[in-house]
Structure 1
């Protein structure tokens, strides 16, 4: 018995009366049980989002998406050539229309770019003023592919992303080459993040 504290039954010289802090096994068990649930959830959430953010795919607008416009413009050109036989000034409209079409396609192509990583889908738009928007892939609810007849012929299309993101609850991405493959990449990245987050939440 400690002479300085006669009411303290702990004897440091007694090997059978070791404190729990001296036993690492007991400390680990107590730490697991006494951990704050909020901190435990935050640790699991942090672990679920850990790891490098790796790029899966990057791309932009494909001019092949304008195949329908080019076909229509070709028919108009033929009509102007025929009309030029009777009224020759109509021929001067042909280069103007084609130049305007190429400028339009170039503007659209330069105005957008996309990047898919393991965590985010990034959408950049604008030529003079560039704006970058990010959607967490775990917030994506649905990925839809839209294709017309010509789109299926040239393997392009539009991807529609529905998510819980407040800025872009519905994002349409036109002119994507290999559209079904890209849509599958987005869906796989979303499912992988949801599965990973679900595993860590269950472990908490």
Structure 2
């Protein structure tokens, strides 16, 4: 399964921007620009959490913003801004990222900093 979307202008939800998003089962790609093209990829197994944001105007025009919190060094917070079918894409990314982690046999660990410096009571 593959999703192709364009970043849209919030007013009327028209695709007048030069940003394209492509979500596949293995990869999320953001392609930006017209004169200077920038293409950024993130492997699906690096996606740790996904959030859907809908402002009032986005809801009026049937849009949403999907925020992917990733372990990627270049884009730790990957945003798919003002896209249609945002809830469907968010749900797809959640399922596909979990399947990609299982396929690669990886797991996400949360570093809470407990091992850095904690005080033990002195038994003196």
**Could you say which residue in structure 2 is the equivalent of 1:116?**
23
**Could you say which residue in structure 1 is the equivalent of 2:5?**
59
Which has more helix, going by share of residues? Answer: 1
Task: Give the 3-state SS of the residue equivalent to 1:66 in structure 2.
Answer: coil
Task: Give the 3-state SS of the residue equivalent to 1:180 in structure 2.
Answer: helix
Superposed CA RMSD in Å reads 2.2
Task: Give the 3-state SS of the residue equivalent to 1:174 in structure 2.
Answer: strand
Tell me, in whole angstroms, the C-alpha distance in 1 between the residues paired with 2:8 and 2:92.
18
Please say if 1:185 is aligned against 2:83. Answer: no
Task: Give the 3-state SS of the residue equivalent to 1:160 in structure 2.
Answer: strand
* 1:198 positional shift: 2.7
Equivalent in 68, 80, 98 of residue 173 of structure 1: 80
Max radius of gyration: which structure?
1
Tell me, in whole angstroms, the C-alpha distance in 2 between the residues paired with 1:195 and 1:62.
33
Task: Give the 3-state SS of the residue equivalent to 2:45 in structure 1.
Answer: helix
* 1:117 positional shift: 1.5
Q: TM-score, normalised by structure 2?
A: 0.76
Q: Once the two structures are superposed, what CA deviation does each residue of 1:52-81 show, in whole Å capped at 9, x if it has no partner? A: xxx511111234x2249xxxxxxxxxxxxx
Please say if 1:164 is aligned against 2:71. Answer: yes
Q: Which runs of 5+ in 2 are unaligned?
A: 107-124
Tell me, in whole angstroms, the C-alpha distance in 1 between the residues paired with 2:88 and 2:55.
17
Which has more strand, going by share of residues? Answer: 2
Q: TM-score, normalised by structure 1?
A: 0.48
* Paired positions, count: 106
Task: Give the 3-state SS of the residue equivalent to 1:168 in structure 2.
Answer: coil
Please say if 1:194 is aligned against 2:70. Answer: no
Q: Which runs of 5+ in 1 are unaligned?
A: 1-54, 69-101, 200-204
Tell me, in whole angstroms, the C-alpha distance in 2 between the residues paired with 1:157 and 1:128.
27
Tell me, in whole angstroms, the C-alpha distance in 2 between the residues paired with 1:168 and 1:175.
18
